[in-house]
Amino acid sequence: MTITNKEIKAEVIEELFLYSGETGQASFQKQMTEMIAIISRTFQEATAPYIGKQTKIVQDEIATLFKFPSETQNFNELLEEIAEPILKNSLQVSNEKSIAHLHCPPLIPSIAAELVISSFNQSLDSWDQSTAATYLEQEMIKWLTKKFGYTATSDGTFTSGGTQSNYTGLLLARDEFCYRKWGHDVKRDGLPSQFHKLRILCSEDAHFTVQKTAAQLGLGENAVIKVKVDEYHRMSPMHLKKQLIDLKERDLLPFALVGTCGTTDFGSIDPLVELATIAKEEELWFHVDAAYGGALILSESHNWKLEGIKAADSITVDFHKLFYQPISCGAFLVKNSRSFRFLNHHADYLNPFEDEGEGIPNLVNKSIVTSRRFDAFKLFLSLKTVGISLFSEMIDATFYLAQETANYLSQQPNIKVENKNPELNTVIFRFEPQNPSGDVCKLNRKIQQEMLYESKAAIAKTSVNGRTYLKFTMLNPRTKMKHIYEIVEEIQTLGWKWRKHK
């Protein structure tokens, strides 16, 4: 029998998709086995957070890959081709000395969950595209709202992270204010004539997405009023009140107050109880950005730091930080589920009005995006596998490590520690030799770069009062003081080596 070209291609196609048939099953298991093998091999061979290559070298190596074949390629051979330029050139975020950013090592159960999420490829916009997934996300949101102290009238949605969650909160705040004050429907009619008077208040150390959101909402970055912080980088209620008085005197209209539960650099938590009181008195929407600090709901020792968060009108929480989930994974929670009416749009092919009458839940009604991954599953599986107690222990261990590190750095010569008592698990410091002969800011930037390029450690740099500082972010519960000792020794060595750097 002669096999036609069409039949040959059909056989190949059968091997490319996961389905109930034996061909797809065998192909899936073979390719997953090969992929797991090369991932494991890469981790086994990686002894540092980064291989040390300069940016241009990595860029050139990636560029060589962009020659797509006209015919199918052997999967295992392809993996070998990409292993060096992609896998080995990647940051090893699970390495104990990868302590630069709010960039966590992912839990193995969450990695396994990613395989389920991709394999079943549910889309969380309509129920008929995400049958079981819809209900699991709803239950996960119920659990989260309860943990944060909300009541049964609250609701939420999973998001890509803090940027999307903060945007959603401030969008709802703007639309709620415009409707309450002028009966104006922004969703239907656009911005009101007095939109240029609208103002958002946040601390000087609040996340930049507050300004980014103001710009995207059509209010402009100048609509964001930055309130002074105290010596611990927390918003000052006294200066907040002064700003509110000033805004009223200038006939401006504050509509939202953003409190931060864990600033990016210092991990500072604004005085949420006091801010909630002021927000209520001034009829401001109180949004709490707990992208970083929200994980404290799992900590038996530190959850008291979230006091006041239940008074927020909306909350941002990220799971790809201290919940140890792969990027991206976050949630937006809102105190009153009716607030989601400002996002609601109906499409006959997706979420028709008839579905509501029949009790069919279409989660697109709660989100600013349409197609959405089943990210709730990886958090669910992680909590089920690890358990709350061990989560608490892991989080608390990183806080303890941060304090021990701050204590140790404070005793080191030529080291200045900016936050000697970390509120969460970041430590800010700089190499500052006595009588320096060069630019100390350039020196610290050089130290940060060389630590990465020499494969010593991945640490971050930031700016405090216009000066360059170094930053440790202790998310990895496997990082111990012995790793910190080694990193600090390298910093001291590089600092002295480059101390005359101009």
Selection from 219, 207, 121, 199 nearest residue 165 by Cα: 207
pLDDT at 3 over 70: no
The confidence score (pLDDT) of residue 434 equals: 84
**CA–CA separation, 262 vs 424, rounded Å?**
7
Query: Which tokens go with 201?
Result: 């208040």
pLDDT at 500 over 70: no
Beta strands 198-203 and 224-227 are: parallel
Beta strands 155-159 and 330-334 are: antiparallel
pLDDT at 284 over 80: yes
The confidence score (pLDDT) of residue 6 equals: 61
Contacts of 135 (CB under 8 A, 6+ apart): 361
Tokens 């009108």, residue located: 313
Three-state SS for 336-384 is: CHHHHHHCCCCCCCCCCHHHHHCCCCCHHHHCCCCCCCCCHHHHHHHHH
pLDDT at 136 over 50: yes
pLDDT at 499 over 90: no
Terminal alpha carbon distance of the chain: 78
**CA–CA separation, 139 vs 71, rounded Å?**
45
Q: Is the dihedral of CA 18, 19, 21, 22 positive or negative?
A: positive
Tokens 């909590």, residue located: 383
The confidence score (pLDDT) of residue 297 equals: 98
The confidence score (pLDDT) of residue 357 equals: 86
Tell me the DSSP string of 93-110. TTSTTB-SSS-PPPPHHH
Q: Model-level pTM greater than 0.85?
A: yes
The confidence score (pLDDT) of residue 234 equals: 98
| For the chain, percent of residues with pLDDT exceeding 90 | 92
Taking residues 325-332, report their average pLDDT.
98
**CA–CA separation, 249 vs 260, rounded Å?**
26
Taking residues 199-204, report their average pLDDT.
99
pLDDT at 120 over 80: yes
Confidence class for position 1, pLDDT limits 50, 70, 90:
very low
**CA–CA separation, 426 vs 409, rounded Å?**
13
Contacts 24+ apart (CB under 8 A), 26-30: 30/75
Among 11-15, 386-390, 431-435, name the most confident range: 386-390
What does the mean pLDDT of the chain come to? 96
Which DSSP state fits 87? Answer: I
Which range has the worst mean pLDDT, 250-259, 377-386, 426-435? 426-435
How many Cβ atoms are within 10 Å of 104's Cβ, its own excluded?
Answer: 26
- CA distances (Å), 36 to each of 33, 42, 374, in order? 5, 10, 22
Contacts of 123 (CB under 8 A, 6+ apart): 129, 130, 371, 372
Selection from 424, 453, 398 nearest residue 105 by Cα: 398
197: burial class by Cβ within 10 Å (0-12, 13-18, 19+)? middle
Confirm if 470 and 431 have CB atoms less than 8 A apart.
Answer: yes
Query: Which tokens go with 214?
Result: 């103001």
Confirm if 82 and 65 have CB atoms less than 8 A apart.
Answer: yes
**CA–CA separation, 66 vs 77, rounded Å?**
16
pLDDT at 276 over 70: yes
In 46-156, which residue ranges form alpha helices assigned H by DSSP?
A: 55-63, 75-82, 108-120, 131-147
Q: Which regions of 220-266 does DSSP assign to beta strands (E)?
A: 224-227, 253-260
Buried/exposed 294-310: b ≥16 CB within 10 Å, e otherwise: bbbbbbeebeebbebbb
The confidence score (pLDDT) of residue 37 equals: 98
The confidence score (pLDDT) of residue 435 equals: 78
Query: Which tokens go with 316?
Result: 């941002």
How many CA atoms lie within 13 Å of 147's alpha carbon, on the beta-carbon side?
19
Confidence class for position 106, pLDDT limits 50, 70, 90:
very high
Query: Which tokens go with 289?
Result: 């950005």
Confidence class for position 11, pLDDT limits 50, 70, 90:
confident
Taking residues 392-417, report their average pLDDT.
98
Confirm if 330 and 158 have CB atoms less than 8 A apart.
Answer: yes
The confidence score (pLDDT) of residue 353 equals: 87
Query: Which tokens go with 21?
Result: 């048939």
My answer on whether omega of the bond before 328 falls inside 30° of 0, hence cis, is: yes
Selection from 363, 376, 174, 161 nearest residue 255 by Cα: 174
Greatest CA separation found in the chain? Answer: 90
Taking residues 337-355, report their average pLDDT.
92
- pLDDT digit string, tens, across residues 58-87: 999 999 999 999 999 999 999 999 999 999
The confidence score (pLDDT) of residue 501 equals: 55
Q: For residues 344, 348, 354 and 358, what is the CA-based torsion angle, rounded to 10 degrees?
A: -80
Confidence class for position 268, pLDDT limits 50, 70, 90:
very high
Taken in order of first residue, the domains within the chain and their CATH numbers are 8-92 (1.20.1650.10), 123-386 (3.40.640.10), 389-501 (3.90.1150.10)
The confidence score (pLDDT) of residue 4 equals: 57
Confirm if 222 and 229 have CB atoms less than 8 A apart.
Answer: no
